[in-house]
Structure 1
Amino acid sequence: MTASSITIAATDGGSFSAYVARPAGGAPAPAIVVIQEIFGVNAVMRGVCDWLAGEGFVAICPDLFWRIEPGIDITDQTKAEWDRAFSLFGAFDRARGIADIEATRAVAAGLPGTTGKVGAVGYCLGGHMAYRTAAETPIDASVGYYGVGINEVLNLAPGIKTPLMLHIAEKDGFVPPEAQAKMAEGLGGNPLVTLHTYAGQDHAFARIGGAHYDKASADLANARTLAFFRQHLA
């Protein structure tokens, strides 16, 4: 596995950086856009990219907070960092974020050593954005982990034209039961959408080092994610 950073031009001017992890060997590989949590392109997100590269994908994680402040890289370990993260979450423009994800997808499709197939995977805020990516861009397949606020934008669901998988934490403190019920009602009948609920799990159960990390549930979700991408990005 090798890692580097690239610069991507935004469609409305300016540019932003992205972390790129590549698998060993020279065979062309599908690409996956990794969509950050509210902590920026931090060690956890770089670790996701490295994991995907180890599984044979080219992973690229764009800095979606660059319009607010470039290079955000914080953790979930202190109250001050949580306060900063929620401030960034509140200031984030999701429409412009989708434009930046689409710019990243287009670059990823043409990167040397890729096949042209591109998926997306996101966590928390990124899980929400992965849903929107499925509905608003020509991505080939998308996965969202414990996306927040999807129930508020179910009007976008008719735009889903490619496979989408959502991992839902049953006890998610940010996605209450009524929100989960709306997601099931709004998306459950779509044959392109797969919903997995993890009993007893709270938000960020797959974030290594997080307060709610659960290895068994994370391993199951990650195995499902890899199988999903191997099927739909082949």
Structure 2
Amino acid sequence: MRATRTLAALDEVDSGDHVLQLLDPADDVWDRSRAFVSDGELFGDKVLVVGPFSRTAAAVAPVVLDPARLNGSLISAVRREAASAEREGYRSLRVLHHVTCDGSAADPEQLLRSELDLEEFAADSGALVVCAYQCGEENASAPEQARRVHPHHLGSRPASPAFRVYRTGKDGWTVSGVIDSDGAPVFGAVLRTLLCQVATVRLLCHGLDFLDAAGMSSLADAARCLPDRKVVLEGTNETVRLAWELTGFADPSIPVVMTP
């Protein structure tokens, strides 16, 4: 089963990892990501770079995609490259997703959708995905949001948000930590994004310590955002279930099911 962890260097990235790499605006993304890209040749992986990249800088010749010129969604393009890699005999696909938080790339809904898609793709396919965020202080919300949907992160910089949501298996997502008023908007956005894709979202909540009133409201609102949708929380502790009931959210009109 996948679990959260911190990597000391990018050469530690393993199959199925979805790693958050935080860069300063002045950092050279190629210099900081060289090991990850170069290891593609060492391990027989096809390398895909999403974002600006200098082909002349790499020892391998990666496929480079410009997010602004994609014909369709990012995940569709990534899946096409994964299928191509399999046909061409590569071991796997390794993706470097360079996010600069400018232009359309700064759209929070689009970024969240892309990150959840990449998280699901990495977990289900065994691909290796590194998301390198290079944002200034004016776009600090983008990496803060990204922290919550990456199970792995690079380096010693603090990257442990109050809660995390990440893919557990082919039919569920793990939720861990505490969802309070600070994290409730992102939690709601994550759920709405997932509910747009499937009728029932299954959350494994053995590591969820608590939902405050704002967190419960975001859960209820997200569950009701589309018709015939449902959120199932498995492994919730007694405190979470009791708070849900006492605050009046355990109502048949709210399509949320909580189980021990």
Structure with greater contact order relative to length (CA < 8 Å, sep ≥ 6)? 2
**What TM-score comes out, normalization by structure 2 length?**
0.32
In terms of Rg, which structure is larger? 2
**What TM-score comes out, normalization by structure 1 length?**
0.34
